[in-house]
Structure 1
């Protein structure tokens, strides 16, 4: 099925590196994109690469105005990283950047997974894949867990989807951007499944796991976005739990996605606590906003 987008991961922190001063018209064009990048927690190298793409596009405009050759760039990308590291959020920002710079006519994001591409019989997969490419024309086709297309071997219909995508990248050159996303090792394996893939994805972004301080920052921001306050004792409990989860190697840690689940579970627990506590009358505004340590029972649904 079509995948929902990742939760926005925002911060008021200033990025590590500031872009060079720009003239007013150019600065206005990039201002909204820069604001969204500044709000992301961490991801300094990703922010720098997005600005690098912007700079390339802007200088290409200048070269064109000066009568110089300025075409030929390919912008298909690989996003490598664990779940919840902001890949979909960055893909949306990149789509908006390309639309503003005239690379893409619409700048929308079509997010899909294996089930959306792979059919049940020969020929069905190719048609489903072509239909999704058509839907993505003017924007970005974002395939999460793209490596799953290569898992079934030669007789699996996933190979048909890969072949169709490779052909579409040639047939619809410069009409859409394809972004493949997934775990680092799995994506590297996937890239070996078709000899035409490596050369078609010149841009690769690595999305690192968030460190503990960044996860706490994301926790506070997600609570604030929902008009909730975390008590200091609640933050201490969450910090201890997140540290334990990050160190537990028995399962993949889903970063900001895991934090979001913790916050939403805590909000549900708070609702039950308040209803039981206030049988008659209503809690005050501060009580409605406060998430207490007892609201965080660390078993997720």
Structure 2
């Protein structure tokens, strides 16, 4: 099953301070955060050397495998890595282009090409040859992303591609507390197109109370399948059940939204 929409992410010119803030705001995956922070430190050291007149040779881009289920932050981390590689001088672009495995090969534009692998949507032989050529050219970084089963099924039959990857990052399922923290952040965004424009969560919606509610009202297998992808629908449903004219969402409203959102996905996925 895949919920990926293929697109290219174009963002403003990154600064190291902004990327450090993005890394600190990642929820879950503590080991991956430590690895990203290590890259930041290497960039800082290189900048100090350059300021001292020491010749700094930019690193070469390398290719990675991201192992994890939907909604565990693989796309978010890919975008951060694209910025870090760009700031380190390893890539000419910080764009991240995301594609599904069997689609026509997309132009990585000198940045990161994030290729999502699904058991029912594996890379065909033509796309594989194009990927190998892109990796060997050395101008872009390729990331293969998917759950363990899909990647294992694909890689064991394609060792010529697999041997070109230098790093493997593991994205574990998010805990209920992780999901609660992400839900709070989503609810705090107040832009014109945000999910809760004009609405606020009241004081009863603490991280702990939201986490307990998610644990009670959502089955574990649904959380494992979708992780953070569950949350947008839950916020939409919570907004629907709020009293007419009321701009505050209570824990009761949120609980009903969580329940209704879970029911939408259970029906959609035949769970």
| Residue 290 (1) aligns with residue 249 (2) | yes
Gaps of 5+ in 1: 7-27, 118-128, 151-156, 275-282
Contact 1:5 1:88 in 2 (8 A): no
Q: Distance in 1 between matches of 2:89 and 2:114?
A: 19
Q: Tell me by how many angstroms 1:104 deviates.
A: 1.4
Q: Secondary structure at the match of 2:65?
A: strand
Q: Where does residue 269 of structure 2 map in the other structure? A: none
Q: Where does residue 216 of structure 1 map in the other structure? A: 180
Q: Where does residue 18 of structure 2 map in the other structure? A: 32
Matches within 5 A, 1:60-75: 62=49, 66=54, 70=57, 73-75=60-62
Contact 1:231 1:293 in 2 (8 A): no
CA RMSD after TM alignment: 3.3
Contact 2:94 2:111 in 1 (8 A): yes
Contact 1:212 1:243 in 2 (8 A): no
Higher RCO (C-alpha under 8 Å, 6+ residues apart): 1
Q: Tell me by how many angstroms 1:207 deviates.
A: 0.8
Instruction: Report the TM-score, using the length of structure 2 for normalisation.
Output: 0.75
Deviation string, structure 1 residues 160-188 (Cα, Å, up to 9, x no partner): 21122112211x21x11111111022212
1:141 to 85, 108, 113: 113
Q: Where does residue 6 of structure 2 map in the other structure? A: 3
Instruction: Report the TM-score, using the length of structure 1 for normalisation.
Output: 0.68
Gaps of 5+ in 2: 190-195, 265-271
Q: 1:4 to 1:243 in 2, by over 3 A?
A: farther
Q: 1:112 to 1:43 in 2, by over 3 A?
A: same
Q: Tell me by how many angstroms 1:215 deviates.
A: 1.6
Q: 1:44 to 1:236 in 2, by over 3 A?
A: closer
Deviation string, structure 1 residues 119-150 (Cα, Å, up to 9, x no partner): xxxxxxxxxx2xx1xx2132111112355554
